[in-house]
Each structure stands twice: as C-alpha cells, then as structure tokens.
A = this chain, B = another copy of it.
Amino acid sequence: MNSQNDLMLADLKKAAREQRKLDSGTKNKALLKIAEKLTLAANEIIAANSKDLEALAADTAAAFRDRLTLNPERINGMIESLRQVAALPDPVGEMIDQQTLKNGLLLKKIRAPLGVIFMIFESRPNVILEAFSLAFKSGNVILLRGGSESKQSAAAIYKLMRDALTEAGFKFMPFHGIEDYDRGLVEQLLKRKDMIDIVVPRGGDKLIDFVQRTALMPIIKNDRGMCHTFVDEDADLVMAAKIVTNAKTQRPGVCNALETVLVHEKIAAQFLPMLYKETDSKKLQWHVDSASLFILKDHERVTSAKPEDWDTEYLDLIMNCRVVSGLDEALAHIEKHGSKHSEAIITKSETKARLFQQEIDAAAVYWNVSTRFTDGFEFGLGGELGISTQKLHVRGPVGLRELTNARWLIDGSGQTRG
C-alpha cells in the first residue's frame, strides 16, 4: 500500500472520531444539502453515467446495462432516499438499557457507531448514496469501492458529495470513494484491521468468497438469495399462484426473488397448471423435477432441472419447480439448498405454518406472503445497506440500527471489586 492510501485511511479513522460525535441536526442538514445539490446537478451525473454506458461492450447483458443506468427517475429516487434517511430517527446514543446494580453502579447500555465501514459493491451507482447516507446517519464513515464499469458515474457522485459536505461546513470528509480500480488495493485494504472496523461486500458468490478468504476484520455479507416457497396441500391455491408469481416475476433480478417453488404432491396436478397460467404472460422458463414434468409435459418452456439448478440463483425469469411428499421433504430441501435469506409457506394450517417458521433457519420466514418483502423499507427500517445472510450481528435488512452496536457506560462512586 502506498503512502497516499495510508494517509487516506488515517484521514478516515480521524473522521470516524469526529463523525460519531455529530448531532442529528448537523447530519440531517448535510444529507439535505447533498439532496439539494443532486437536484441541481442531475444532468451532469447523467452525462457522466452516459460515458460509462458508452464504454460498455456491445454484447453487455441488458440486465447489467440496466443496473448501471442512471436516469432522471433514478436520480429522483436517490434524492427522495436521502430525504427519507434525514427524516429517520438517529440511532446513535439511543439508551438500550439502564439499571442501578446492588453495589450502586449505574449501568447504561447505549448505541454507538461501528466506526470505519468498507463497502465493496458492484455496478449500481445509486448504491453510493444509499450506503453513504445510512452509514453517515448512523455515525459511521464509509470507504466505498464500486465496480470499475461505473467509474465515471461514481467520480461525479463522489465530487458532488465532497462539494456538498464542504458547503455544509464539514472540516473532515466522512467518506472516501476509491477511484483506483486496481484489485490489489482491495486485497491490501482487507488486511487493514487496524484502520477498518467492518467490511460489507455486496455482490456475487465470487466477491463474497474473496472477501471471506482475505479480510481480517469482521464482515457483514450480503450475498445470494436462494429463496423457496412451499405450497402446501392446505393452501388457498389462487392465493398461492399469485404469491409465487409475484415472488418470482415482479423483479427477478433481486435477492429476495423466488428461485424454487416446492409443491405438495396432493395438489400438484391441480396447482401447477394454475401457476403456469398465472405466470404465462411473463414467459417464465421452468426447470422441473420428473413429477412436475409429467404434469406439465404439454406446456412450453418446461424442461428437466439439472442437479445444479436447485442451487442456482437465476436472478432471471427462470424458476425451479419440484413436487414434494409434504412438509418434511420441503423442509429438508430448503435446509439443503436455501441460503438463509427468505423462505415462505403457503397454507391455511397455522400449525404447519408455525412449524415451518420454527424449523427454517432463515433471516425471514413468511406465511402466506411473497418473499419479496424482505427489504429495509418494507420492514420499516427506512432503508438498507444490504440484506445479511450471515448469523452474526444482523440477519436480513441492514438498516441504521444494524450499523451500530451497543457499548456500556458505567458510573460509580469508588466501587472496587472484592
């Protein structure tokens, strides 16, 4: 690591000491200032983004191109999101617990920021302000490293943020956007547990695996959603078809979208054609087991699932379908193939629903609901830095509170331990 990067880390660490002391008013004003400047500079940001889009190879997948694109609507979304975060309650200093012990000690458990957060993300440039605003409001500073495909967009947004924060009177910079896209630098940064408190990788399996193998500091990982929905024999089948269709097709490119539907054998012959019809307009591709194939054999776009399909997060209009003998087989399938993200059961039986919710060890377990609801906004957290699939610190949406932790303040009058 060159001395410039050492300096950058030292600046961030120093900024973290200032940031965690800021009052809510100062933080909110700064967020609104960035929103204001973004309103004025929308065209410049879109122009920078156009350069990124022009630089893409002609055969770049449409979905990738779409994720990279900024347009007036998305800029407005970013502005709205900044305002929403400004309006959210500040978690820093929140008193979680307070008690006087028998020995007279006053014990307070209060929320404090995590410190310096290193976020590694892929090509969506709107992630920058989403992540920054949540980290900033929760008293943290953030080091951002996006995908190189969005470098012009990122540079324009970083500049706008710096300008706005300077105008808002900031003497320190509570973020740093890395514009050196050398991968070796990321590797070096992941070793700097002396300067970085937490790393948040947001991306595919390869990125997560690289970070897990390399990072010396704690990780909040946001990775794959291999989400299932089990349609029980006691399900309302009309409701089930609507829920599964929503979970799979409403926005297939996100981690809370469904990948595999598991259908009880007793209702499969009735339900699968219903579900096929419900999803037909979406031109959904079906990868199915032999029992489903037997039922759907005359239908278009239905092929036999390959073994690896049951572990594939398509992020596309492709769905796995398997007929199971009942709840136990559904549970075993999810235990084997799920990614601890979001799982659902559709049934009229509360007993089976509670058993499913108890047995499935995922961040969010649904009864008669689409898995698409696993989301910081939907859960009332006001936003999210990502959706955690690990079991330490936070499961599911990573909101403001999840970017803090509790520490202890103890007041006494000379107590010593005997």
Which residues does A use to contact B, with CB under 8 Å? 17, 20-21, 99, 101, 105, 107, 112, 114-115, 193, 197-198, 212-213, 216, 218-220, 236, 239, 242-243, 245-247, 250-251, 335, 353, 357-359, 361-370, 372-374, 378-380, 390-396, 405-418
Contact = CB atoms under 8 A, between A and B. Distances in A.
B395 A393 contact: no
22 contacts: A20-B361, A114-B391, A115-B391, A198-B392, A212-B216, A239-B413, A246-B416, A250-B417, A365-B407, A365-B410, A366-B412, A369-B410, A370-B416, A372-B417, A373-B410, A374-B408, A391-B405, A392-B392, A392-B405, A394-B406, A395-B405, A395-B406
A216 B213 contact: yes
Contact of A408 (B335, B364, B406, B413): B364
A255 to B, nearest CB: 14
A219 B390 CA distance: 11
Given A115-B361, A363-B407, A99 B380 contact: yes
Most buried by B among A20, A362, A380, A416: A416
Given A21-B359, A107-B379, A218-B392, 11 more contacts: A114-B391, A218-B219, A246-B416, A363-B407, A363-B408, A366-B410, A366-B411, A368-B413, A372-B416, A393-B405, A395-B406
A367 B408 contact: no
Contacts of A198: 391-392
A107 B417 CA distance: 43
A391 B218 CA distance: 8
A408 B246 CA distance: 20
A200 to B, nearest CB: 11
A370 B411 CA distance: 10
A259 B213 CA distance: 34
Contacts of A405: 391-395
Given A193-B212, A370-B416, A417-B372, A409 B218 contact: no
A362 B212 contact: no
Residue among A193, A359, A410 with max Cβ neighbours from chain B (10 Å): A410
A193 B221 CA distance: 13
Nearest to A107: B379
A227 to B, nearest CB: 13
Contact of A416 (B250, B357, B379, B413): B250
Contacts of A20: 361
| Top 6 A-B pairs, shortest CB-CB distance | A369-B412, A246-B416, A218-B392, A372-B417, A393-B393, A239-B414
A388 to B, nearest CB: 10
A193 B391 CA distance: 11
A417 B246 contact: yes
A411 B367 contact: yes
Given A197-B391, A391-B198, A392-B405, A369 B411 contact: yes
A163 B410 CA distance: 42
A378 B411 contact: no
